[in-house]
Structures are given as structure tokens and as C-alpha cells.
Structure 1
């Protein structure tokens, strides 16, 4: 049991405690700290400088020793002469080979010239002036834009014997389809046909006539200056 002195002291302490005001508390329980940002410090690059002042010496390979006769013979043995592949180099050029295609005719290897707007029919080693068009009409293209000549225009091919195996048709300055009637007339003679513009047809004839002979290959060429309704000019 407390004595009167202790009760007085306890009541004094309690009054003192009541006088201590409550400590105000912050409305937030925590505070976020902002750390200072660390930005990278720019670095200045200084190009390096070579401290060597002596000029570089060019390194040259040692000179090759002169080739011996055995080395030269070995090199020649491994070298191929491509001229040997040209099997036609020693073949004679036909006299009917086309040297020049003129606007109004042709110049042959034999020196013969076909001019005056006529075409050239080359068959059996012979050259003929060829005019397969109808008189003053001077047309070789039908209503269907096909190249066409009459059977009479190819009549010479039926008179030669032996007949050529191949006929190369040069249709003039440009390529056109061949009409079925003309193709049938040539096929009826037992002759195959190939068509091209006159420049390419002449080059093809020169090659094949040299390779196979003029008896197997014939050509019928229209001048490169041919114009429908006008003729070769």
C-alpha cells in the first residue's frame, strides 16, 4: 500500500504527463528520396598519332628465275589452241554466200550483184534474181498480216534435183508469220523451211551452206529495203 508521500509524488507525475502535448504525426508514413541523376561525362577522343617517322619500305617478291626449256615445253603442253575448234576455218566459202545485204539487192561472194529491187534465190550453187510478188502490186503480206507467196513463186524449187533439204526464207526487214498456204506449198516439195528477217537469214545461210553444202541448203531472200506496196528502195 502506498504511503501519503508516494501518492503525492505519483499524482504530480501524472499531472506532468497530462501536460505533454501529443507529438504530431505526419500524414504520410514514408517519404521517397530522390537520388541525383548521374549523367555520363562526355569523353573526347584524341586520334592516335604514330610516333614512327621512318617511311615504310615496299616489300617486293624476289625475282623469278628464268624459265627453262623444260618449263616452257610443259606450259605449251597444257595450253590449248582454241582455233582448232573452228572446224570451218579450212572449208571453202560457197560462191553464193552473201557478202552484203543492200537495200535493193545483194552482193555475193562470187562478185555477182543482184540489184534493181529483186530478191535472191540461191539453190544448187546457183543464184537467181527472184521476184515472187504480183506485178505492180508489190505485196507479200496478206490480209491476216502473214507473209505469203504463190506456188508459182516457188516453182524453181520443184525443177532442181536433188532438191535441197532446207529452205531459209528471208522475209525482208522484219519477221512475220508464214501463211499456211505457203508453208504447205514448200512442204509438198519435201523441203523443210525456216524463216527469219533477211539479215539473220543471210547469216544463217552462209553458215549452213559452208557446213553442209549448197546442195542441202537453199535460200530465198527479200531485200532489206522492202516496203509493202512500194518495193525495195
Structure 2
């Protein structure tokens, strides 16, 4: 099913393209979706707080409800599953769940360089105690959830399927339509399934135009 060359580790990245048209007859099992999201959830995150929540749209009625929120983009209906990736604005609350087993097991060397678990907890608490008007919580939520989203799309390609990330949707309408708690912020939608048409060809900047070696020069206009 996959076109990815297993002997070429970079082919996964080269052959991943954003697809807009999906085979509406193709289905994914719940187990396959869980497998993809399990891999997505192994993405890195600040303090390993795992700042993401996934909303999986598999049922026709739910997809139809999502359609106007996604500005009529039909791929949310035709895809085998559309995943909404949400960022966690209160990821600091995850610290006990993440580190509790480590603490109880007495693995004091597992705190990523902190002198104690308390020092780690104190820094997390301090970071998340910032004013709600600060951009910190939102920036962290979007940053880390985006890492999981990219990992999801690569996992999809490894499974021999295709995906299409979408930011063209009404985040406020999504929150209202699907009763999203204030703790979470919608980051993007990812449609997943079997491509009905090849992805549209796109160009990329030459790598030389994207690299700045060792910092910008004074008064650089790049």
C-alpha cells in the first residue's frame, strides 16, 4: 500500500504532501486511528507535559457538523478520519501524571538535570502561574501541539496513506459546536485517508535561501 521506500529513510519526508481530495469509500478502523494517534503522542514536548488533545471525527453526522466550521472544505467529510489537534493551555496540570510514577519508583536521576522532582515541579508551576493575559500558555500549547500534528502526518505517510493539514477553519465556531473546554485551544485540523487525486505540486525555497549561518549580520535585510 505504501509508496515509501523502506531503504531510504528520507523518502517518508520527501513523499509526504498535503492532499485535498480523498476517497470517501476508504475506512480506517478504530485500532488504526489509535495507532496513528499513539505515534503522534510520542512527539517531544516541553517538560514532557504533552500539550495536546485529539478529537477524531469518524461518523458522518459529526463530519457534516464540522463541514461549515471548516468553511465547506469537503475533505473533512471525505477523509477516513479528520483529527482536530487541540493545544493544552493548562499543561502544567499534567506534571503529576507524567512524573508521579517516576517519583514513586524512586528514579531520582530521571528529572532531566533538575536536582529534585520538587525543583522541576516548582519551575513548571512558576511558568504556568503567569498572568492569563500573557501569551506563554497559548504559545506553548500551539508550539507543542504542532509537533504532535507533524508527527501524525509522518505516521500517516508511513502507513501508506495521505493527509492534509488545515488552518482555514473557524476556531471559535469549533469550540462552540463541539463544546471544547476553556482549557484547550484549536490548533489545526488534519484530514487523513486514501488520496483520490495526487497532491498539488508545490515548490520550496532553495535550502541556501533558508539558512543563516551563525547569526544575522548587522542591519541585515533578510
Normalization by structure 1: what TM-score?
0.18
Q: Which structure is higher in strand share? A: 1
Structure scoring higher RCO (CA < 8 A, sep ≥ 6) equals 2
Q: Which structure is higher in helix share? A: 2
